[in-house]
Structure 1
Amino acid sequence: MEIFGTLLPLILMFAIFYFLLIRPQQKKQKAIREMHNSLQRGDKIVTIGGLHGTIDSVDEDVMVILVNDNRKLTFDRAAVREVVNPD
């Protein structure tokens, strides 16, 4: 019975750690993964470097972004921070 009393605080600490830190991070990563998978031509985006542009084409890992004066830049798909399409 002493072992149970000793392990209970450790188990509670792990449960609190999981629900406050690990689980929210997993949800955030899943949302980012879904956003990257749903990118399509014409989406207005912001990259992790702060570049604003419109997607011209999307491949499996690479996309071409149209920026000022129809200049085309190539980025990794993972470089997208957010989609800013007006709804």
Structure 2
Amino acid sequence: MEAFGQFIPLILIFAIMYFLLIRPQQKRLKDHKAMVESLRRGDQVVTQGGLIGKVSKVKDGDEVEVELNEGVKVRVVKSTIAQVLNKTEPAEG
């Protein structure tokens, strides 16, 4: 019984770490994955490098084409998109 009492603080520390660090990080990753999967043509996005542009083409795989200015298009890996500023409405039909 004495040995179990020594493990209680360790168990409490793990529980606190789980609820304060691990669980919120998993939620953030899940939200980011959902955001990246829902990218559509016309969405205004910010990349992790700080570039702001409009999605001109969603390619197969893990790439999107982002138009930074008229005639300036770059290929970006989907996972490097940090934020979606303006969401386009889905086409109804």
TM-score range, shorter chain: over 0.9
The match for 1:29 is 29
TM-score (norm 1): 0.92
TM-score (norm 2): 0.87
Structure 1 Cα separation of the partners of residues 46 and 67 of structure 2: 12
Matches within 5 A, 1:1-87: 1-59=1-59, 60-85=61-86
Query: Could you say what the CA RMSD is over the residues aligned between the two structures, in angstroms?
Result: 1.4
Which residues of structure 2 form unaligned runs of 5+?
Answer: 89-93
Please identify which structure carries the higher helix content: 1
Structure 1 residue ranges (4+ consecutive) displaced by more than 3 angstroms after TM superposition: none
SS at match of 1:13: helix
- How many residue pairs get aligned? The number is 87
Q: CA deviation at 1:50?
A: 0.6
The match for 2:91 is none
Percent identity of the aligned residues?
46
Provide Cα deviations, 1:18-44, integer angstroms capped at 9, x if missing partner.
111111111111111111111111100
After superposition, the Cα gap between the structure-2 partners of 1:86 and 1:63, relative to the gap in structure 1 and judged at 3 Å, is closer
Structure 2 Cα separation of the partners of residues 75 and 66 of structure 1: 10
